[in-house]
Amino acid sequence: MTVTPHQTSILPWQPGTTPLMLAPMQGLTNRALRAHFIQEVRPDVVFTEFMRVNAAAEVKRLSAADLREIAAAEGDVPLVVQLVGHGREALVSAARAAQEAGAVHINLNMGCPYGRMTSGLTGGGMLRRPADLAEVIPPLRDAVSGSFSVKVRAGYDDPEQILSLLPLFESAGVDFIILHPRTVVQEYDGSADHGVTAGTVRATRLPVIANGDIRSAADGERVLADTGAAGLMLGRGAIADPLLFERLRGRAPSRPLLDERRREIGRYLRQMMPRYGELFCGDTQVLGKLKAIVSHMDDPDLAKPLKELRRAKSLALFTAVLEKLG
């Protein structure tokens, strides 16, 4: 019997476990932040920021900078390379280039709401023309020798569209689905409807990873219990609080006291300073990246220092506020 590549693919997590994944977030989950998470809380799986596929290029589908980011793992944690783009030839070529550069696990972004207005309909925009997906998903799956997954919204403007896509994902041999249960047109408004996640889990044999509005251990535990999802992908909640991974594992307090939270934030941001200093050029860029982290923190009891951090005009002023945090 001839074995197609995807029949030998390996999931990027251990069988029988409930993986906790760090979400790909453009402008945030660069290698400096991933390294911090791997050292401090060790997600089960990490993702690159999305890599833009150049449909116009004949050869160089991925940028040289993106190719340098590609690996099978970082610190022994499986690394999934996420592609965003359109067109069968371009995506297949990019997947092959990523594998040549060392990728084992490849994910197609079908969820980013900001790709819906481009002429090529990338990211979540792909759901605007679902009939075209049959021309893209199977050949892309066949081109990937490791695991191939999709990160998808519930639909373009219909939250039940995902159910109509499941037969294609299953027949093509997609290994797992990461579902953010908002529509593309919603962007980040409203709430993630994990009732859609539960319905999707019931309707498919594929592992479904739940993503969206998981900001506390209680949120994560509830989503797992209510949906039957195979695992969780943590995004904005984890950026605000990396210990969310450990809270879900029961190895850190699920609801830290105020003084603990102050110390956690101070330690986190101070540790990121030298990491960003190595990756980015100058205090202004480092300050901008630190503020991007702080923008996801919304602790009401720490509203004043968080506001001061967001408004700091220099890295020195930012550091001074951190010292007051403890």
Q: Compute the distance between CA of residue 314 and CA of residue 305 in angstroms, rounded to an integer.
A: 15
Cα atoms found within 13 Å of the Cα of residue 45, Cβ hemisphere only: 28
What is the SS3 string spanning 88-151? Answer: HHHHHHHHHHHHHCCCCEEEEEECCHHHCCCCCCCHHHHHHCHHHHHHCHHHHHHHCCCEEEEE
Q: What are phi and psi of 12, to 5 degrees?
A: -85, 20
pLDDT (0 to 100) of residue 134: 97
Give me 44's structure tokens.
């089960």
Query: Mean of the pLDDT values across residues 26-54?
Result: 96
pLDDT (0 to 100) of residue 194: 98
Using CA atoms, how far residue 260 sits from 97, 178, 237, 243, 291, in Å, is 45, 32, 17, 12, 21
pLDDT (0 to 100) of residue 64: 94
CB 294 within 8 A of CB 269: yes
Q: Give the model confidence (pLDDT) of 116-133 as tens digits.
A: 545 578 999 999 999 999
Q: Compute the distance between CA of residue 149 and CA of residue 127 in angstroms, rounded to an integer.
A: 16
pLDDT (0 to 100) of residue 258: 96
Residues in Cβ contact with 303 at an 8 Å cutoff, skipping those fewer than 6 apart: none
pLDDT band of 2, cuts 50, 70, 90: very low
As a whole number of Å, the CA-based R_g of the chain is 20
| Statement: residue 5 has pLDDT above 50 | no
pLDDT (0 to 100) of residue 115: 64
| Statement: residue 8 has pLDDT above 50 | no
Q: What are phi and psi of 122, to 5 degrees?
A: -95, 170
Query: Mean of the pLDDT values across residues 273-282?
Result: 97
Query: Mean of the pLDDT values across residues 264-269?
Result: 97
pLDDT (0 to 100) of residue 153: 98
Query: Mean of the pLDDT values across residues 265-275?
Result: 98
CB 94 within 8 A of CB 83: yes
Q: Give the model confidence (pLDDT) of 191-228 as tens digits.
A: 999 999 999 999 999 999 999 999 999 999 999 999 99
Give me 11's structure tokens.
């999931």
Q: Give the model confidence (pLDDT) of 95-109 as tens digits.
A: 999 999 999 999 999
Q: Give the model confidence (pLDDT) of 132-157 as tens digits.
A: 999 999 999 999 999 999 999 999 99
pLDDT band of 56, cuts 50, 70, 90: confident
Give me 221's structure tokens.
């535990």
Give me 178's structure tokens.
């990461």
CB 161 within 8 A of CB 133: no
Q: Which range among 1-5, 74-78, 114-118, 244-248 shows the weakest confidence by mean pLDDT?
A: 1-5
Q: Give the model confidence (pLDDT) of 298-317 as tens digits.
A: 999 999 999 999 999 999 99
Instruction: Name the percent of the chain lying above pLDDT 70.
Output: 96
Q: Compute the distance between CA of residue 21 and CA of residue 13 in angstroms, rounded to an integer.
A: 10
CB 297 within 8 A of CB 240: yes
Q: Give the model confidence (pLDDT) of 154-173 as tens digits.
A: 999 999 999 999 999 999 99
| Statement: residue 3 has pLDDT above 50 | no
CA 120 remoteness from chain centre? 22
Give me 167's structure tokens.
């037969």
Q: Which range among 40-44, 55-59, 241-245 shows the weakest confidence by mean pLDDT?
A: 55-59
Residues in Cβ contact with 263 at an 8 Å cutoff, skipping those fewer than 6 apart: 325, 326
pLDDT band of 283, cuts 50, 70, 90: very high
CA triplet 80, 86, 89: central angle to 5 degrees?
90
* SS3 (DSSP) at 152: strand
Of the chain, the end-to-end C-alpha distance in Å amounts to 63
pLDDT (0 to 100) of residue 9: 52
pLDDT (0 to 100) of residue 110: 96
DSSP assignment letter at 50: P
Q: Compute the distance between CA of residue 106 and CA of residue 138 in angstroms, rounded to an integer.
A: 14
| Statement: residue 36 has pLDDT above 70 | yes
pLDDT (0 to 100) of residue 116: 52
